[in-house]
Amino acid sequence: MSHELPLTIKDAAAALRTGTLTSVELTTGILKKTSKLNEALGTYVTVTEESALEAATAADKAFAEGVDAGPLQGIPLAVKDIIATKDAPTTANSRVLDPEWGKGVDAPVVARLRGAGAVFVGKSTTSEFACGMPDPDKGFLIPRNSWNLDHTPGGSSAGTGNGVSAGLALGGLGTDTGGSVRFPAAMNGHTGLKVTFGRVPKNGVVPLGYTLDSVGPMARSAYDCALLLEVMAGYDPGDVYAAKVEVPAYTEALTGSVEGTRIGVPMPYFFDVDGLDDEVRAGVLAAVDVLKEAGAAVAETEIPYAKQAKVANSVTMAAEAYSYHRDNLVHRWTDYGCHTRITIGRGALFSAADYWQAQRFRTLFCRKVAEVFSSCDVIVTPTWAKPAPRSDEMSAESMIHSPSFTGPWNLTGLPAVAVPCGFSSSGLPISMQIVGKPFAEATVLRVADAYQRATDWHLRVPPIASQLDA
């Protein structure tokens, strides 16, 4: 079935308009795959089959009547289960969140996609409250890597990540506070965009780090992410952090050309830090060579204080998360998963002085990064230091001591896209990260799209999907 279904939103949208495929057929095919693979992959907490088929039927009816709401009409998507949807409960994969939270309401980002005719297949799994690691004792499905079930799918937008990779959705929503859109995209071999802070409204989303959180699109390709972002982006008065910035036509910016685009490659820390896998380093540098051959101007550069930026982002996230969860941690400590309560609880160990020092550093770091961008249009780094590790090797300690190539961009609020650029010798995806200036999503997506026109890493289908076909 899966090879009969389009891999990308772009191709599915074309098929819906030529009549070679209906939204009901597309949605039914994805629901069938979901019923067979969801238990193994742990993609969805809730599958909204009835409302999905209703939306698909409405999309087909609109097409028949000559009504076209845009390229997302009739496209099946996944929604991370910390984002409110009116047709399914929001749990944050936790026993702590009030069951009434967000009940019967669409978050603005969901309402916009629904208004564009999108079909929502279900609420996808996440790390509890978008942090920590899964706790099997709490009864939620454990998400797994689509390329190797023994390995982590990345977090916290794990379900959307492995679902897009395995074809259980053509795209979807994740949130990113320190890398939570980009980690799953990197580890499952597709594209994931962390948007500029304030670019997409985040009211109706359970918070983690108030000044770090963003809602971003996840899909196979940069083009598909651009399609999603055109609908998702824009001001909403319900989000005090939302930016009143014009939304460009992102897909029109994807010209296929990087001629003259200035790419900075920060070798210190990002390419020489202890813990960086040799295959990841080689894969990302090979991807930079592809862009150079396509006409980009590549030069080595340096991001001052990149190592310290991870610490500042971690302090900020822990302190802000603790401020949201403090009362529940006091009264319902054991209701939280064992990893989550420790991850959030350590925010209690930071003083107001620690938090404010992190913000002082943040101001300095933003200024230094802006100086780097005065001589380049984008910066390219690895997304993650290693291919996806085994799930039984993951620990809070390993995350604390690992280098972070993603957190610094949450600290600055800059846009960054994770793009697959190869596979390790063990068959796991490798990913590069393209970082841009504030609100320059069009630029990072253009560079990513140009790379994907020259390669096909983002179109590789994981073994579990192939086994289903057999």
pLDDT tens per residue across all 470 residues of the chain: 344 899 999 999 999 999 999 999 999 999 999 999 999 999 999 999 999 999 999 999 999 999 999 999 999 999 999 999 999 999 999 999 999 999 999 999 999 999 999 999 999 999 999 998 888 999 999 999 999 999 999 999 999 999 999 999 999 999 999 999 999 999 999 999 999 999 999 999 999 999 999 999 999 999 999 999 999 999 999 999 999 999 999 999 999 999 999 999 999 999 999 999 999 999 999 999 999 999 999 999 999 999 999 999 999 999 999 999 999 999 999 999 999 999 999 999 999 999 999 999 999 999 999 999 999 999 999 999 999 999 988 877 777 778 999 999 999 999 999 999 999 999 999 999 999 999 999 999 999 999 999 999 999 999 998 766 54
pLDDT at residue 132 in the model: 80
DSSP 445: H
How far is residue 178 CA from its own chain's centroid?
11
Name the residue among 193, 123, 132, 119 with its Cα closest to residue 159: 123
Positions marked catalytic: 80, 156, 180
- The fourth-level CATH superfamily of domain 2-469 is Amidase signature (AS) domain (3.90.1300.10)
pLDDT at residue 170 in the model: 98
- Return the amino acid letter for 179: G
Rounded to 5°, angle at Cα 82 from 216 and 44: 90
pLDDT at residue 71 in the model: 98
Q: Element (H or E) spanning 33, and its range?
A: helix 23-41
Contact call for residues 126 and 159 (beta carbons, < 8 A): yes
Question: Position of tokens 């603005």?
Answer: 108
pLDDT at residue 395 in the model: 76
Contact call for residues 262 and 299 (beta carbons, < 8 A): yes
Check the CA dihedral 396-400-404-409 and report its sign. positive
Check the CA dihedral 225-374-362-238 and report its sign. negative
Residues contacting residue 109 through CB under 8 Å, at least 6 positions apart: 83, 173, 200, 201, 202, 204, 205, 215, 232
- C-beta atoms surrounding 465 within 10 Å: 20
Measure the N-to-C terminal CA separation of the chain; round to a whole number of Å: 10
Contact call for residues 183 and 406 (beta carbons, < 8 A): yes
CA distance 321 to 317: 6
Residues in the chain: 470
